[in-house]
A and B are shown apart, each in its own frame.
Chain A
Amino acid sequence: MVRLLNRSVGRLSRHRRGPLAGLVLLLLGLALSGGLYAVFSPSSSAETAQDQAAMAAKGRQLFLVSCAFCHGQNAEGLTSKDGKLIGPSLVGVGAASVDFQVGTGRMPMVQPGAQVQKKKNIFSQTEIDELAAYVASLAPGPAIPSEKDYSTAGMTDAEKQEAIVRGGQIFLTNCTACHNFTGEGGAMPRGGYAPKLLDTDPKYIYEAMLTGPQSMDTFSNGNITPEEKKDVIAYIESMKKQPGYGGFGLGGLGPVSEGLFAWVGGLGVMVAFAVWIAAHTTRTKKKKGTAQ
């Protein structure tokens, strides 16, 4: 694999000297300036330390109303008298975790169970940011990623394609075991399941890798680098866009759904034809010769 990566790097450097290099460079420059504009646009420049403190204060108010019941007044976590965990401590989980849990509607949780269900989010993004700012103020933790962390916008086509290829290998190594080869999701012990990735926003995929929500493992930056995370997201995005080369995907679940189609659809149609072939056609009361 290392050799492979070296080769692909080598290919890239050859392209640099190619006839299209100028055009690529120009596009790269344009994309970069666009990215810089995004970074310095008013919304993000407003995030000064003072604003952070104000946001955290607002977030605390929201937290007391919506979250403290399970996670405790100071997010220290609560356990019931018999030692069962009601809500874990949120000290150090970071803003990314709050953004993921609340943004995907998993929190506030309606009822405990094997799996925290994804549902409609009831908070505005501003409110989520405020909650996140409060939790982040308790202890350092992973921050909410910005768009440039997970978006391939601004890459050249060649770069993007290389990112997808790399991301595909990382995806197949680290993610498919639980989330299935198409990202359709899969079963986990005792009623849990790994959710479908294909309708998940790239930001939330990034945050999930960073924070390891619920039963998921963490893929911190020391485990999978931010660059590699971006590659994985690039691969998932390419899979979302991929046309069904061979026809309808049958749920993307693999041989089980295919077998079901073979029996119900394929064999069903064949038996229907057999019934038609053997069925008697309409008869008439007329005798031969009488009609002529």
Chain B
Amino acid sequence: MSDSHELEHSIEAHTDELLPDPGLPEHHWRPTDVDPRAERRAERQVATFFGLSVLCTVLFVVFYVTLRTGINGQKIIGLGASNVALGLTLGGAFLFIGIGVIQWARKLMADVELVEERHPASSSAEDRSATLAALQAGLEESGIARRPLIRNTLIGSVGLLIAPAVVMLRDLGPLPGDKLKHTVWTKNMRVVRDVVGTPIRPSDLEIGDLVNAEPEIIFGTSDGQPLPEGQVLEGADLQVAKAKAATVLLRMDPADIVSDVTRNWSIDGIVAYSKICTHVGCPISLNERTTHHLLCPCHQSTFDLADSGKVIFGPAGRHLPQLPIGVDSEGYIVALSDYPEPVGPSFWERDTKSPSEIADEWSKENGQ
């Protein structure tokens, strides 16, 4: 704030005027101001716009009653007639009022430019000093400056009132615990096709086949038999399970597999990887058959499925977790364990290790 207002309560204008201000130009009249015929024509124009709006509104009601909506609705040039008709009439009803009102303002309302003086945003010096005085008087009378005990306990007690609000938020949800580190996959759970839930034999797949797969528990069965009532996943539990357990199964030429870990956890060139991107968690299944590169459609992270899901492009920071798979007694593909590492996006509590370290630990745990 400059002190200049103290001296004079006005806006500091430019002093460096190169040319004299010619002042507001002479007003030129519109045809509607001077010609009664033009004026009447403009009047009729505006009224016509309002009339058209009325027509549109009436048509809107008519179309609302006569046209069917949705799947059985009438069609017009390949579009849903109901939406087009209702939208255009509603749009017309509003547009014509708008155009009419503005035409009225442009043609008929007074259009002589007027001048208003400005004042500085600040109040006058007297107002400001009076306010300051009032503020000081108030503070003085309350004695807040002289009684620090009252002031500080008040600040403390009011400040502490944030606590109930924060504490109340605690029950928004459970604590993470180690929930993010596990999925519903367990040892010997069958790998089944998504949507239909049927189990898969290695011989079902040809080289180049990609299957979007799920753990069998998602479909409420175990080895083809329905699970007992309590164990079937439903509602939010089902969604949470799906969100982490989704898997892609890919059969490639075994000779194409680069890494030992990938080879050990595959059967006949069939590999299973988490379908959840390690970047921000989009499901990924854009696979290039010829290169075994899996691309995420959200942010284009690309993983090499022949080489432990190594990141070869894009913003992902970690390889894609691989699911060790085997075959059960009936010849169906099963998981040999849960994913050996947490799936999905990175989070603070997550430990990150290389595929070979993970494989070593896994071998120890599973005695292989």
Q: Which residues of A contact B (CB under 8 A)?
A: 1-3, 5, 166, 169-170, 173-174, 177-178, 186, 188-189, 192, 194, 212, 214-220, 222-223, 228, 243-248, 276-277, 281-292
Contacts and interface: CB of A to CB of B under 8 A. Distances in A.
A287 B29 CA distance: 7
A169 B195 contact: yes
Contacts of A166: 195
Nearest to A291: B34
B288 interface: yes
Contacts of A194: 286
A217 B79 contact: no
A170 B195 CA distance: 6
Given A174-B285, A247-B84, A283 B29 contact: yes
A81 B297 CA distance: 36
B206 A218 contact: yes
A229 to B, nearest CB: 12
Contact of A283 (B30, B79, B286): B30
Given A1-B219, A220-B209, A288-B34, 11 more contacts: A2-B219, A174-B210, A188-B286, A188-B288, A189-B288, A212-B209, A222-B204, A245-B80, A246-B83, A247-B84, A282-B30
Residue in B210, B221, B300, B313 whose Cβ sees the most chain A Cβ within 10 Å: B210
Nearest to B79: A244
Interface of B is mostly: mixed
B35 to A, nearest CB: 6
B75 A219 contact: no
5 contacts: A192-B288, A282-B31, A283-B28, A284-B29, A286-B34
Contacts of B300: 189
A243 B78 contact: yes
10 closest Cβ contacts across the A-B interface? A222-B204, A217-B210, A218-B208, A283-B28, A245-B80, A215-B288, A291-B34, A177-B285, A220-B206, A244-B79
A101 to B, nearest CB: 15
B289 A212 contact: yes
B247 to A, nearest CB: 12
A281 B284 contact: no
A284 B204 CA distance: 86
A246 B35 CA distance: 47
B212 interface: yes
Interface string B100-133: 0010001100010000000000000000000000
A18 B205 CA distance: 41
Contacts of A214: 289-290
Contacts of B79: 243-245, 247-248
A189 B293 contact: yes
B220 A3 contact: yes
Contacts of A188: 286, 288, 295
B221 to A, nearest CB: 7
Contacts of A284: 28-31, 33-35
B107 A281 contact: yes
Nearest to A217: B210
Contacts of A282: 30-31
A173 B83 contact: no
Nearest to A218: B208
A166 B70 CA distance: 21
B302 interface: yes
Interface string B27-64: 01111011110000000000000000000000000000
B162 interface: no
A219 B285 CA distance: 13
A218 B285 CA distance: 13
Nearest to A223: B209
B274 interface: no
A244 B81 CA distance: 9
Interface string B195-213: 1110011011111111110
Contacts of A215: 288-291
Interface in B77-95: 78-80, 83-84, 87
B196 A228 contact: yes
B331 to A, nearest CB: 13
Contacts of B107: 281
B289 to A, nearest CB: 5
Interface in B282-314: 283-291, 293, 295, 297, 300, 302, 313
A287 B34 CA distance: 7
Contacts of A220: 204-206, 209
Contact of A288 (B29, B78, B209): B29
A177 B277 CA distance: 13
A173 B23 CA distance: 72
Nearest to B83: A246
Nearest to A171: B195
Given A178-B286, A243-B75, A222 B206 contact: yes
B288 A173 contact: no
Contacts of B111: 281
B194 interface: yes
A284 B70 CA distance: 54
Given A217-B287, A246-B80, A189 B206 contact: no
